């Protein structure tokens, strides 16, 4: 059965079609949820909540554009809802370094990168994920999180700095272990 048929059957609330849609996208969307969640359990909750929203709003999908893109946006917005209205999203000092922090992550396992991204403070992780991993602009991020573009730029810079420090520490440990 093709995706279009599965979507049409989901619009009719057929449980088998909903199960098929879940199986088609769960792994990919779980990766999306991990980027915007504090931990694995939160990501699982966000995935389940996101699919419930998708099933509830699937009638709104008109067939124009990609279903995956439409559903991914629901997953991201659902995860971001957990942070709406939280005051710590604002930073007091918006001094942004003139030069962008370069991160050399070529020899770092993806599992470690995802782990350290999840360890970032919420405001840094959200901005980093939206900007670097999903390609949103600072203006779009500011609108989504209801913060200023200066704050998004500052949070991104700080996230990159933290990640750079952790990657450099990881690399030093790896070099030492190889030297033994």
Give the whole-angstrom CA distance, residue 48 versus residue 50: 5
The pLDDT score that the predictor gives to residue 7 is 95
The two structure tokens encoding residue 50 = 């996101």
Per-residue confidence (pLDDT) for residue 36, from 0 to 100: 87
Whole-number Cα distances in Å, 178 to 36, 171, 175: 34, 11, 5
- Write down the pTM of the prediction: 0.72
The reported pLDDT for the residue numbered 172 is 81
Reading the chain (180 residues) residue by residue, the pLDDT tens digits are 799 999 999 999 999 999 999 999 999 999 999 888 878 899 999 999 999 999 999 999 988 889 999 999 999 999 888 776 554 444 444 454 444 555 655 678 888 888 899 899 988 999 999 999 899 999 999 998 888 999 999 999 999 999 999 998 888 876 666 655
Q: What pLDDT sits at residue 85? A: 55
Q: How far apart are CA 145 and CA 129, in angstroms?
A: 13
Residue 135: left if φ>0, alpha if ψ -120 to 50, beta else—which one? left
HSE, CB side, 13 Å, CA atoms: give it for residue 131: 24
- What tokens appear for 165 in the block? 């420090």
């Amino acid at each position: 059965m093709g995706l279009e048929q599965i979507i049409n059957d989901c619009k009719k609330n057929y449980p088998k079609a909903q199960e098929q849609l879940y199986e088609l996208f769960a792994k990919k969307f779980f990766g999306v949820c991990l980027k915007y969640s504090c931990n694995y359990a939160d990501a699982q909750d966000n995935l389940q909540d996101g699919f419930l929203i998708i099933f509830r709003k699937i009638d709104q999908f008109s067939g124009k554009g990609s279903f995956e893109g439409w559903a991914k946006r629901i997953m991201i917005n659902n995860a971001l809802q957990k942070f709406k209205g939280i005051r710590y999203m604002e930073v007091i000092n918006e001094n942004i370094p003139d030069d962008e922090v370069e991160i050399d992550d070529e020899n770092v396992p993806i599992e470690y990168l995802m782990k350290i991204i999840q360890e970032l403070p919420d405001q840094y992780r959200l901005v980093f994920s939206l900007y670097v991993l999903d390609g949103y602009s600072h203006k779009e991020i500011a609108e989504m999180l209801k913060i200023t573009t200066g704050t998004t730029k500052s949070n991104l810079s700080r996230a990159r700095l933290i990640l750079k420090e952790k990657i450099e520490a990881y690399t030093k440990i790896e070099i030492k272990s190889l030297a033994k």
